[in-house]
Structure 1
Amino acid sequence: MPSDAHGGEHSGALGEADGLVPNGVTVFDDTIPAVAKLDPDLLQALRRAASAAEHDGVTFYVNSGWRSKAYQNQLLRQAVATYGSANEAARWVATAATSPHVTGDAVDLGRSDATAWLSRHGADYGLCQIYRNEAWHYELRTSAIARGCPPMYADPTEDPRMQQ
């Protein structure tokens, strides 16, 4: 299947153009598609929070951000192989049709100091952990700035967005 400009299925090895993230990438690395293709509002909130966190000696490293459909499908296939069933894999990896990573609406941050910082301060920037089982996964919830983050789902299988 040929590659398309919108991140559809293709054959061959996946790379940075599909959303793979090299080591050491931060939320300020505009040359990396996984960062550059994040929703602009999410990216702006991440960068504001990261700038504040730097004052506490914390750097926001990106493990995953935007992903192509092909990359998301590969992650799902790997999760099914790892966890033994599609149902169990769904606790960790969404389909390409439902993943907020494919739309650029989610980021997975590396290093526990960044996620610990966000667990304390993320709501001030509208950045919320969505799933209890994924301390690294953050999405933008602008209402959190005034009201705090919404209650977390135990895992993606409880998220109505994943039921499509």
Structure 2
Amino acid sequence: MNTRTVPVRRRRRILVGATALLGAVVLAFAVQQSLNAASASVANEAPTAETAAPPAPPQNDAAGSVIAPSEADGVIRDGDQPTVFDTGRVAISNLDPALLEALQRAAQDAAADGLEFRVNSGWRSAALQERMLQDAVIHYGSEAEAARWVATPETSAHVSGRAVDLGPLPTLDWLAQHGSDYGLCQTYANEPWHWELRADAATDGCPEMYTDPTDDPRMQP
């Protein structure tokens, strides 16, 4: 028996084992990366509580859509939410001047508490609003249910620049406590992100919230 063949065989077994282990590690890493990518994709498709974005349907470029939304229409993409000071974005600059001024004053004071106002939706073009309404009807299954979340272009406070959807949650908590000092009020009980300017709120407090937009007389045709 050749005694020198034993170490060679051992080295071969060690080499094969090491190769298999390396392959398993690479495979596990690839699977983990795939899972991470899938998780990120789902997170981007659905609004999260942390960003406090409205449960609006996704704006897909489907057949029959009114427009392919763009930043010029006031679109704000997930992960690219501007602050109330980013007036280079039309979603911010086209807001009602009095509302924008109140938002900026509030944001400056909230910054002392380490908070930042992020805008999930501000001014919208009428075309974008119509697109969102059409998508909402499909998403929610009926015009009646869609109306609880998305107004028509003719009645939307976003189209007129009189409303803004804000986040994240700590900012909304701060606004719930201090917003009325700046005339900023939550309008709808089902939309904690939707804020409008009420001139008398600083002295009289915010008016009672509507249950949802269908309860708002301004939303009636």
Give the TM-score taking structure 1 as reference length.
0.92
The aligned counterpart of 2:109 is 52
Q: Is 2:167 the partner of 1:110? A: yes
Q: Is 2:73 the partner of 1:18? A: yes
TM-superposed deviation, 1:78: 1.1
Q: Is the 8 A contact 1:49 1:125 kept in 2?
A: yes
- SS for the counterpart of 1:94 is coil
Q: Mapping of 1:20-39 within 5 angstroms?
A: 20-22=75-77, 23-39=80-96
The aligned counterpart of 1:152 is 209
Q: Deviations over 1:102-127 (max 9, x none)?
A: 00000000211111110000000000
- SS for the counterpart of 2:82 is coil
TM-superposed deviation, 1:13: 2.0
Cα distance in 2 for partners of 1:57, 1:96 equals 36
Q: State which drifts further: 21-30 or 48-57.
A: 21-30
Q: Is the 8 A contact 2:66 2:130 kept in 1?
A: no
- 1:129–1:13 Cα change, 3 Å: same
- SS for the counterpart of 2:188 is coil
CA-based RMSD of the aligned residues comes to 1.2
Q: Structure 2: 5+ residue runs without aligned partners?
A: 1-64
Report how many residues are paired. Answer: 155
Q: Is 2:152 the partner of 1:95? A: yes
**Which protein is richer in helix relative to its size?**
2
The aligned counterpart of 2:181 is 124
Moved over 6 A (4+): none
Cα distance in 1 for partners of 2:81, 2:147 equals 28
Q: Is the 8 A contact 1:21 1:32 kept in 2?
A: no
The aligned counterpart of 1:40 is 97
Give 2:178's aligned amino acid: H
Larger Rg: 2
- SS for the counterpart of 2:159 is coil
Give the TM-score taking structure 2 as reference length.
0.68
Give 2:207's aligned amino acid: P
- SS for the counterpart of 1:135 is strand
